[in-house]
Structure 1
Amino acid sequence: MDIAYIPSPSTGVIHLGPLPLRGYAFCIIIGVFVAVWFGNRRWVARGGKAGTVADIAVWAVPFGLVGGRLYHVITDYQLYFSEGENWVDAFKIWEGGLGIWGAIALGAVGAWIGCRRRGIPLPAWADALAPGIAFAQAIGRWGNWFNQELYGKKTDLPWALEISEGPNREAGLYHPTFLYESLWCIGVALLVIWADRRFKLGHGRAFALYVASYCVGRGWIEYMRVDEAHHVLGLRLNVWTSIVVFLLAVAYMVISSRMRPGREKIVEPAAAKPVHGEAQDDGSTETSEDAETSEPEPSDAEPRGKA
């Protein structure tokens, strides 16, 4: 009796005519576009200008890629700098190896530069991007499927992932941890969208919720993985990172909600005031009284909702 399983691609390269495109890079690129597109919708619904998210992403994305690669190389240095390895491989980002922790940390630096140049509060921008980043991670994880990497323990479950024999890996059926994390990230994105709509999160709390909820999933998924990793007190390094970052994110949400309740009243001074009853990104409507802009309420002599 044949056992059902998820097959792995025979190659990690997609050929667009004569142009080779690695599946890992393709997933990252698609993820970035989705994050920017969805973030732009949320930013405009918050009272910002269309295109601002993309302008700041021009700073955030390159910084994030460098940060993600640095985190991976530093925490898995033995793959590049131990005896018999070629240190030049540390620059081959298309072969996989991006640490989300480094990507978010250094990407935030790039975003801060972009926001400062536009006179925009970074926490508000991060809140708008939060669910889009989670969606981007869900897409990006399929790059690991193309590279046949970051799988879990052996299993005979119907959704087991088939891994072919290769360097430092044994052929067999394994837990598809890339799929688990992809589905978890979709759930995180939906959670942030719901919570932001329900509680009107502001001042970076939507982003902190994304970070905390992602860490919960990353912790147990990381525990399932069997690829080589450094251990501290019996746990993989990334499990400890998840625990620490989760605690920091929760602490930020608690402290921020007490010190700066509600949402920002100004997200982008240069943006025009939205029309009364304008549709929001989540299907709801926002009146001119609730809109978060820097303009004063119209006087009795002005028609309601006038831009």
Structure 2
Amino acid sequence: MNALTAPFVALSIPSPAQGVWHLGPLPIRAYALCIILGIVAAVWIGERRWVARGGKAGEMQDLALWCVPFGIVGGRLYHVITDHDLYFGEGRHAVDALKIWHGGLGIWGAIILGAVGAVIGARVMGIRVLPALDALAPGVLVAQAIGRFGNYFNQELFGRPTDLPWALEIDRDHRPAGYENVATFHPTFLYESLWCLAAFAVIILLDRRFRLGHGKVVALYALLYTAGRGWIETLRIDPVELHDVGGLRFNVWMSMVVFALAAAYLVWAAARRPGREESVYRTS
């Protein structure tokens, strides 16, 4: 901190005093509430988009019964696999891997298994997979924006130290080793939330303008999200097992790979599958 930045530190974002409240013996966890609220928002947005595409009301709610459990399991598995030393080894307790309310959902695992759930559910329900995913994808960005506030309440996954006016105050007990005497950090939860909301707005505008179909909305979601996640990830200082692969965090590499695949699909689909599906239902 210097004389120029000191007056602005008072504008920093305070961390919540607590992330858990109790109704008698029942703990109410802010992290879980953020995840639930995000899911509700995603399903509501997806439902409206699905009906606008010619689907029946209630079908995205039914599809969510497949997507959400698969997505939560996938997100947790990805987190446990990439941060396995938090749960296994000397002095660790493997049962902690099941305690999802403490935080720890990997977005890539959630997307992959969530999509698997969507494919299974869509086939059971007799609806086309790509129109369903195109309907749901923008709402997922809103869900991610809301869900990141769970990290805020848990005081986790913040970025490097900073004295910027919007710096996030972190309690000493939540600071990683080597940063015990640093009080303010980049609020990466906020950066990602705002990025997701901006990406949501861009997708909605482009979809209305060009009537995107055949999975192009999903590809656009992946393209825009990874473009932001890549640079936000470079700010984070939380330790991960796959921290440094070729000088970059593993999730930065994942973002670049997914970005490239999404861009390639968009180019291919724009040339080979223009426009939008005539029907959202399978004919056979």
Mark yes or no: TM-score above 0.5: yes
1:154, CA displacement in angstroms?
Answer: 0.7
Deviations 1:2-27 (A, max 9, x none): 62211111211134566321111100
Deviations 1:199-252 (A, max 9, x none): 111011011101110000000000000111221000000000000011111111
Task: Indicate if the aligned counterparts of 2:39 and 2:143 stay in contact, CA closer than 8 A.
Answer: yes
Looking at structure 2, the residues matched to 238 and 223 of structure 1 have their Cα atoms a distance apart, in angstroms, of 9
**SS of 1:71's equivalent?**
helix
* Selected match of 1:132 from 129, 136, 139: 139
Which residue matches 2:114? Answer: 107
Larger radius of gyration: 1
1:192, CA displacement in angstroms?
Answer: 0.8
Q: Tell me the TM-score normalised to structure 2 length.
A: 0.92
Task: Indicate if the aligned counterparts of 2:156 and 2:174 stay in contact, CA closer than 8 A.
Answer: no
* Selected match of 1:86 from 76, 82, 93: 93
Which residue matches 1:261? Answer: 274
Looking at structure 1, the residues matched to 60 and 75 of structure 2 have their Cα atoms a distance apart, in angstroms, of 20
* Selected match of 2:237 from 223, 226, 236: 226
Matched pairs, number: 270
Higher RCO (C-alpha 8 Å, min separation 6): 2
**SS of 2:87's equivalent?**
helix
Deviations 1:104-163 (A, max 9, x none): 000001111110011111110011111100000000000000100000011111111000
1:216 aligned onto 2:216: no
Structure 1 segments, 4+ long, off by >6 Å, are none
Aligned residue identity for 1:25: A
1:168–1:78 Cα change, 3 Å? farther
Task: Indicate if the aligned counterparts of 1:47 and 1:268 stay in contact, CA closer than 8 A.
Answer: no
Which residue matches 2:205? Answer: 194
* Selected match of 1:236 from 249, 270, 279: 249
Looking at structure 2, the residues matched to 10 and 92 of structure 1 have their Cα atoms a distance apart, in angstroms, of 21
Which residue matches 1:282? Answer: none
1:55-70 to 2 correspondence within 5 Å? 55-70=62-77
**SS of 1:141's equivalent?**
helix
Which residue matches 1:278? Answer: none
Deviates more, 1:165-174 or 1:138-147: 165-174
* Identical-residue share of aligned pairs (%): 62
1:83, CA displacement in angstroms?
Answer: 2.4
Task: Indicate if the aligned counterparts of 1:3 and 1:156 stay in contact, CA closer than 8 A.
Answer: no
CA RMSD of aligned residues (A): 1.5
**SS of 2:200's equivalent?**
helix
Deviations 1:161-202 (A, max 9, x none): 000011563351000000000000001111110111111110
1:99–1:264 Cα change, 3 Å? same
Q: Tell me the TM-score normalised to structure 1 length.
A: 0.85
Which residue matches 1:141? Answer: 148
* Runs (5+) with no aligned partner, structure 1: 270-293, 295-307
Deviates more, 1:10-19 or 1:210-219: 10-19
**SS of 1:232's equivalent?**
coil
Looking at structure 2, the residues matched to 242 and 226 of structure 1 have their Cα atoms a distance apart, in angstroms, of 17
**SS of 1:129's equivalent?**
helix
1:167–1:193 Cα change, 3 Å? closer
Task: Indicate if the aligned counterparts of 2:155 and 2:174 stay in contact, CA closer than 8 A.
Answer: no
**SS of 2:28's equivalent?**
strand
